[in-house]
Amino acid sequence: MSQFSRIGVVGCGLMGSGIAEVCARAGSEVRVVESGEQALALGRSRLTASLDRGLRAGKLTEAERAAALGRLSFHTTLADLADCDLVIEAVAERLDLKRAVFKELDGILTDPAAVIASNTSSIPVIELAAVTTRPAQVLGVHFFNPVPVQRLIEIIPTQVTDAAVTEQVMNFAADTLGKTAIRARDRAGFVVNALLVPYLVSAVRMLESGIASAEDIDNGMVLGCAHPMGPLRLLDLIGLDTAQSIAESMYEEYKEPLYAPPPLLRRMVAAGTLGRKSGQGFYGYGENP
C-alpha cells in the first residue's frame, strides 16, 4: 500500500507549503501546522497563491484547485495531527528544533505504525529517529524547491528504518505524488547536496576573493556549462540561511574544508540578506521577491 490517507505537514514555509500542496493535489487529506496564527496565515496565502499560479498556467483546472483546497486544513497545535498516518516535518534546518518536533509528534500520534519523515536537507536522520520510540518508522523525504515543479525526492532510510516503511514511502512518492524518488544513505548532504554544496560555496569564495563579479560567475555557468541558473542566483533561491545550515551540517559530519561556509556567506546571513525571501541576497528582488 502506497497511499497515506491523512498526512500532516509541520511548517508552512516555502518547502512546507509546497509539500502540502502536492499532497493535497494528489488526493490526500492534509493538515498543516504552523507555530502561530501569523505564520499560518502567511503559509496559507503562499499555498493559495501557488495554486492560483497553477490555474493561470493551465496546470490545473478550477475544479482541481477547489478540490485541493478542500483537502487542506490549517492548525497551530501538533495535537491536531494525532490520527495522521504520515507526518512530514518541514521546519527550519536546525537539529534542536527538528528533534523537539519529532519528540512531541512521537508522543501525540495514536497509531504506533504512523510514519514520521523529515524534509531535512542535510541533517543525519538517525539524529531525529533517536528521540522517538518508533525509529523503525522514521526516515528522510527531501523535496526540492519549488516542490510543485521539481520532480525529485530523496528518500533517506536510517540503518534502523523498516524496509517496508521505506518501500511504502518510495511508492507513495512515485505512484501518488508522481515524483522520481532516489534512495540515499543517511549521510549529511545525501546525494544532491553532497555534490551541490561544495560547488555553491566555491562560487561564494570566488566572489569574495574578487576573481569575478556575481553576474560573470553566474553567466559563466549558465552560458558555459548550460546550467539553468548560476550558483549565486541559486543560493538566493535556496535561501542563504538554509545554505549556511546545510554547509555547517556537512562540515560537522566530514570536517572537509570544501563544505565550510565562507565568511561572506556568514556575514550576509547575519545581516539578514537571505536571498529572494528577504528581497536581497547576491541580487536585489524589490518588495515582492
Q: Which of 21, 89, 127, 154 is catalytic?
A: 154
Q: Indicate if the alpha-carbon torsion angle 73, 78, 80, 86 is positive or negative.
A: positive
Instruction: Check if 127 is active-site.
Output: no
Rounded Cα gap, residues 133 and 137, in angstroms: 9
Q: Which of 17, 50, 142, 245 is catalytic?
A: 142
CATH number of the 193-278 domain: 1.10.1040.10
Region of residue 219 (left: phi > 0; alpha: psi -120 to 50; beta: else): alpha
Q: Which of 17, 28, 119, 121 is catalytic?
A: 121
Domain boundaries, the chain: 6-183, 193-278
Instruction: Check if 75 is active-site.
Output: no
Check residue 287 and give its pLDDT: 58
Rounded Cα gap, residues 206 and 193, in angstroms: 19
- Could you give the residue ranges of the DSSP H alpha helices within 35-162? 37-56, 62-70, 95-108, 126-129
pTM, whole model, 2 decimals?
A: 0.89
- The grid coordinates of residue 189 equal 548532504
Q: Which of 28, 193, 245, 278 is catalytic?
A: 193
Instruction: Check if 215 is active-site.
Output: no
Rounded mean pLDDT, 211-230: 98
Rounded mean pLDDT, 110-121: 95
Check residue 3 and give its pLDDT: 73
CATH number of the 6-183 domain: 3.40.50.720
Rounded mean pLDDT, 41-65: 94
Confidence band (pLDDT; 50, 70, 90) for 209? very high
Beta bridge pairs of residue 280: 275, 284
- Per residue in 117-158, pLDDT tens? 999 988 999 999 999 999 999 999 999 989 999 999 999 999
Please give the C-alpha separations between residue 66 and each of 58, 85, 191, in angstroms, as whole numbers.
Answer: 14, 24, 36
Confidence band (pLDDT; 50, 70, 90) for 280? very high
- Per residue in 180-198, pLDDT tens? 999 999 999 999 999 999 9
